[in-house]
């Protein structure tokens, strides 16, 4: 009897998941409120399960897709929306390498095929002091990483963005040491909150939001959530990320949202939610402390900023 | 800030007066119409700060320009331009105190002490304040020779304002670098006054 083998709670959770999933797939076929239509291809997905959604109102699409930090298209926040049309997302492939049993170059279709998509409504907090609420469409990063069978040497995962100054004109200036590199500790990468997104607002990701495949780690500052990923590498040593290279004193590897640890030049205690007049208090781990605080138990977060 | 005595030609003062006000009107209109993008308050604060810096540099360019060209009319606009620089700096400061900090004085105090870019910006404004207060003819007369010495503080304020901009950008230092370069050029022109060929040196009245 399956119910004897599978712990009862897990089984219940799965059952609920399947039920809501079916309902959602049916719902997704209809134009829902999130699918008012922003010009992108519609995606089929199920709604965010329990802890993976916030009831805070999502930031309007025009701001989510119009106000971006994506230095590959310029350092101004409006440049990505103006210039990212030059990015070609098809065909796309991702190279997997390092400490795993199944390295190789995978097409985007290979990457996505086995993974049912779901919506995740997450807060996003930029290191600059502003924030948004974004309805992403994606799937858990853990599910993908497991397919590559990481070995015991895999302590970290490193991600790399496309490097092609033809498509990404911002790369013609060396404001950062291109290509953009980010990384996570293995347990952070495998955490259920961590997803790879392929869409937002029910549609395929706009280029300026990191199409066709981007990371979303909601408890860390936005720059950790690397866009337009072309390489995933399992490593034993902590990756050196682009922002650490650019300014090691200001940007650390962890970059967890933390109102008590200021940026050396400005306070991180509060944030301006896009669309709101008053600033609001920034929450520890961007409000995801309950889910992720245990990952950092015993660590000095002032030192590991 | 009225343009009286600003120019003998009458129309120049009012025109410059309106031109200097235009950026603020444009920003106010943009705020009201929700046309300043996703983060309008940031745009407002940043723009008023940049206009303060621009007007400060334009004010500092007046004397080198007169030396370079021999024209006298820019000199008559100097006070108006300087006061407008102070005006935008004040709007910029109020925007920070109100829209950024909501008059949380404890937080503001900590910011001024802890964050070099705020320290620099605040100092620049404080240095401009006595200059604005002593900008009247009456004060000029009363202070006599000391007036000129006092008003040399404007250079310190300009340097601090550029530093303020430098220290706040995340990575792309091009915009503050433009202002730093212009300011350096103005300093050089002061140290070694150049004159276009054929321009006669005229009596310098201040």
All residues of chain A having their beta carbon less than 8 Å from the beta carbon of residue B37 are 66-67, 77-78
All residues of chain A having their beta carbon less than 8 Å from the beta carbon of residue B176 are none
In this complex, do B100 and A176 lie within 8 Å of one another by their Cβ atoms? no
Q: Which residue of A has its CA nearest to B98?
A: A278
User: By the 8 A CB rule, do A65 and A208 touch?
Assistant: yes
Q: Is A66 on the interface with B (CB under 8 A)?
A: yes
Question: What is the spatial distance between Cα B155 and Cα B161, in angstroms, rounded to a whole number?
Answer: 10
Question: What is the spatial distance between Cα A110 and Cα A93, in angstroms, rounded to a whole number?
Answer: 9
Phi, psi of A157 (to 5 degrees): -120, 135
Q: Which residue of A has its CA nearest to B116?
A: A265
Identify which of A229, A122, A147 has the alpha carbon closest to the alpha carbon of residue A182: A229
Question: What is the spatial distance between Cα A235 and Cα B114, in angstroms, rounded to a whole number?
Answer: 38
Question: What is the spatial distance between Cα B79 and Cα B93, in angstroms, rounded to a whole number?
Answer: 21
User: Across residues A279-302, what is the average pLDDT?
Assistant: 96
Identify which of A106, A244, A118, A301 has the alpha carbon closest to the alpha carbon of residue A192: A118
In this complex, do B117 and A265 lie within 8 Å of one another by their Cβ atoms? yes
Q: Is A223 on the interface with B (CB under 8 A)?
A: no
Q: What is the pLDDT of residue B199?
A: 61
Count the domains in chain A. Answer: 1
Task: Give the pLDDT band of residue A34 (cuts 50, 70, 90).
Answer: very low
pLDDT in tens, A186-227: 999 999 999 999 999 999 999 999 999 999 999 999 999 999
> Best mutation site among B38, B43, B106 for testing chain A: the one with the most A CBs within 10 Å?
B38
pLDDT surpasses 80 at A259:
yes
Q: What is the largest CA-CA distance in chain A?
A: 62
All residues of chain B having their beta carbon less than 8 Å from the beta carbon of residue A279 are 100, 102
User: By the 8 A CB rule, do A219 and A292 touch?
Assistant: yes
- How far are the Cα atoms of A1, A17, A150 from residue A4, in angstroms, in the given order? 5, 19, 30
DSSP assigned state of B199: P
Q: What is the pLDDT of residue A85?
A: 96
Q: In this structure, is residue A280 part of a structural domain?
A: yes
Question: What is the spatial distance between Cα B183 and Cα B177, in angstroms, rounded to a whole number?
Answer: 10
Q: In this structure, is residue A231 part of a structural domain?
A: yes
Q: Which residue of B has its CA nearest to A131?
A: B39
Q: In this structure, is residue A67 part of a structural domain?
A: yes
Q: In this structure, is residue A2 part of a structural domain?
A: no
Q: Which residue of B has its CA nearest to A174?
A: B172
More confident: A51 or B143: B143
Mean of the per-residue pLDDT values of chain B: 89
pLDDT surpasses 80 at B139:
yes
Output the domain CATH number for residue A178: 3.90.420.10
User: Across residues B88-98, what is the average pLDDT?
Assistant: 97
In this complex, do B171 and A71 lie within 8 Å of one another by their Cβ atoms? yes
All residues of chain B having their beta carbon less than 8 Å from the beta carbon of residue A267 are 107, 110-111, 115
> Best mutation site among B30, B31, B36, B39 for testing chain A: the one with the most A CBs within 10 Å?
B39
How far away is chain B from the Cα of A133, in angstroms, using its nearest Cα? 13
pLDDT in tens, A50-69: 779 999 999 999 999 999 99
Q: Among B111, B167, B168, select the one facing A267 at the smallest CB separation.
A: B111
Q: In this structure, is residue A74 part of a structural domain?
A: yes
Q: What is the pLDDT of residue A171?
A: 97
Q: What is the 3-state secondary structure (H, E, C) of chain A?
A: CHHHHCCHHHHHHHHHHHHHHHHHHHHHCCCCHHHCCCCCCECCCECCCHHHCCCCCCCCHHHHCCCCCCHHHCCCCCHHHHHHHHCCCCCCEEEEEECECCCEEEEHHHHHCCCCCEEEEEEEECCCCEEEEEEEEEEEHHHHHHHCCECCCCCEEEEEECCCCCCCHHHHCCCCCCCCEEEEEHHHHCCCCCEEEEEECCEECCHHHCCCCEEECCCECHHHCCCCEEEEEEECCCCCCHHHHHCCCCCCCCCECCCCCCCCCCCCCEEEECCCCCCEECCHHHHCHHHHHHHHCCCCCCCCC
Mean of the per-residue pLDDT values of chain A: 90
Contacts of A120 (CB under 8 A, 6+ apart): A48, A52, A53, A135, A136, A137, A138, A195, A197, A216, A218
pLDDT surpasses 60 at B135:
yes
Q: What is the pLDDT of residue B72?
A: 87
In this complex, do B171 and A278 lie within 8 Å of one another by their Cβ atoms? no
User: Angle B73-95/B40-69 helices, nearest 10 degrees?
Assistant: 160
How far away is chain B from the Cα of A105, in angstroms, using its nearest Cα? 33
User: By the 8 A CB rule, do A112 and A198 touch?
Assistant: yes
Q: In this structure, is residue A196 part of a structural domain?
A: yes
User: Across residues A240-258, what is the average pLDDT?
Assistant: 97
Contacts of B113 (CB under 8 A, 6+ apart): B119
Task: Give the pLDDT band of residue B201 (cuts 50, 70, 90).
Answer: low
pLDDT surpasses 90 at B85:
yes
In this complex, do B168 and A265 lie within 8 Å of one another by their Cβ atoms? yes
In this complex, do A274 and B115 lie within 8 Å of one another by their Cβ atoms? no
The lowest-confidence range among A15-24, A293-302, B14-23, B33-42 is: A15-24
DSSP B106-152: HHHHHHHHH-HHHHHHHHHHHHHHHHHHT-SHHHHHHHTHHHHHHHT
How far away is chain B from the Cα of A128, in angstroms, using its nearest Cα? 8
Task: Give the pLDDT band of residue A36 (cuts 50, 70, 90).
Answer: low
Q: Among A130, A246, A267, select the one facing B171 at the smallest CB separation.
A: A246
Q: What is the pLDDT of residue B108?
A: 94
All residues of chain B having their beta carbon less than 8 Å from the beta carbon of residue A128 are 170
pLDDT surpasses 80 at A16:
no
In this complex, do B37 and A66 lie within 8 Å of one another by their Cβ atoms? yes
pLDDT surpasses 50 at A43:
yes
The lowest-confidence range among A25-34, A236-245, B159-168 is: A25-34
Task: Give the pLDDT band of residue A276 (cuts 50, 70, 90).
Answer: very high
Question: Domain limits at A168?
Answer: 31-296
pLDDT surpasses 80 at A136:
yes
pLDDT in tens, A79-97: 999 999 999 999 999 999 9
Q: What is the pLDDT of residue B198?
A: 60
Q: In this structure, is residue A4 part of a structural domain?
A: no
Provide, rounded to the nearest whole percent, the portion of chain A with pLDDT above 70: 88
Q: Is A276 on the interface with B (CB under 8 A)?
A: no
Q: Among B38, B111, B116, select the one facing A67 at the smallest CB separation.
A: B38
């Amino acid at each position: 009897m399956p119910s004897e083998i599978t712990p009862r709670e897990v089984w219940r959770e799965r059952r609920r998941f399947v039920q809501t999933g079916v309902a959602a797939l049916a719902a997704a076929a209809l134009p829902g409120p999130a699918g008012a239509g922003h010009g992108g291809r519609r995606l089929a997905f199920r709604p965010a399960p329990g802890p993976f959604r916030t009831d805070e109102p999502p930031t309007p699409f025009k701001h989510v897709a119009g106000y971006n930090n994506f230095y590959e298209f310029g350092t101004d926040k409006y440049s990505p929306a103006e210039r990212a049309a030059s990015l070609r997302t098809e065909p796309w492939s991702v190279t997997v390498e390092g400490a795993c049993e199944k390295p190789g170059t995978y097409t985007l279709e290979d990457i996505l095929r086995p993974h049912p998509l779901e919506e995740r409504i997450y807060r996003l907090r930029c290191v600059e002091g502003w924030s948004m609420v974004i309805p992403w469409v994606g799937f858990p990063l853990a599910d993908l990483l497991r397919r590559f069978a990481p070995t015991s040497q895999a302590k970290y995962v490193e991600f790399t963005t496309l490097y092609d100054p033809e498509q990404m004109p911002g790369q013609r200036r060396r404001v950062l040491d291109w290509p953009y590199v980010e990384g996570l500790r293995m347990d952070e990468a495998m955490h259920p909150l961590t997803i790879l997104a392929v869409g937002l607002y029910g549609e395929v990701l706009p280029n300026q939001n990191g199409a066709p495949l981007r990371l979303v780690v909601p408890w860390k500052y936005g720059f950790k959530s690397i866009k337009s990923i072309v390489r995933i590498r399992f490593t034993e040593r902590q990756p050196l990320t682009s922002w650490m290279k650019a300014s090691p004193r200001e940007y650390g590897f962890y970059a967890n949202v933390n109102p008590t640890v200021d940026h050396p030049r400005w306070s991180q205690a509060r944030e301006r939610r896009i669309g709101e007049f008053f600033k609001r208090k920034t929450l520890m781990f961007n409000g995801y402390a309950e889910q992720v605080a245990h990952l950092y138990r015993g660590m000095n977060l002032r030192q590991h900023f | 800030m009225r343009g009286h005595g600003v120019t003998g030609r009458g129309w120049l003062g009012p025109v410059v007066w309106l031109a200097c006000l235009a950026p603020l009107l444009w920003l106010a209109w943009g705020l009201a119409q929700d046309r300043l993008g996703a983060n309008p308050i940031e745009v407002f604060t940043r723009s008023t700060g940049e206009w303060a810096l621009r007007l400060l540099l334009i004010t500092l360019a007046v004397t080198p320009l007169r030396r370079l060209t021999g024209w006298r009319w820019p000199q008559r606009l100097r006070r108006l331009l300087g006061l407008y620089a102070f005006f935008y700096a004040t709007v910029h400061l109020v925007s920070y105190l109100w829209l950024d900090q909501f008059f949380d004085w404890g937080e503001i105090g900590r910011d001024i002490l802890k964050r070099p870019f705020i320290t620099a910006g605040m100092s620049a404004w404080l240095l401009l304040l006595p200059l604005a207060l002593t900008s009247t003819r009456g004060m000029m007369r009363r202070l006599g020779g000391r007036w000129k010495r006092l008003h040399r503080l404007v250079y310190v304020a300009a340097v601090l304002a550029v530093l303020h901009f430098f220290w706040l950008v995340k990575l792309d230092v091009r915009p503050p670098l433009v202002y730093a370069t212009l300011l350096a050029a103005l300093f050089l022109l002061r140290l070694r006054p150049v004159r276009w060929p054929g321009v006669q040196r005229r009596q310098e009245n201040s």
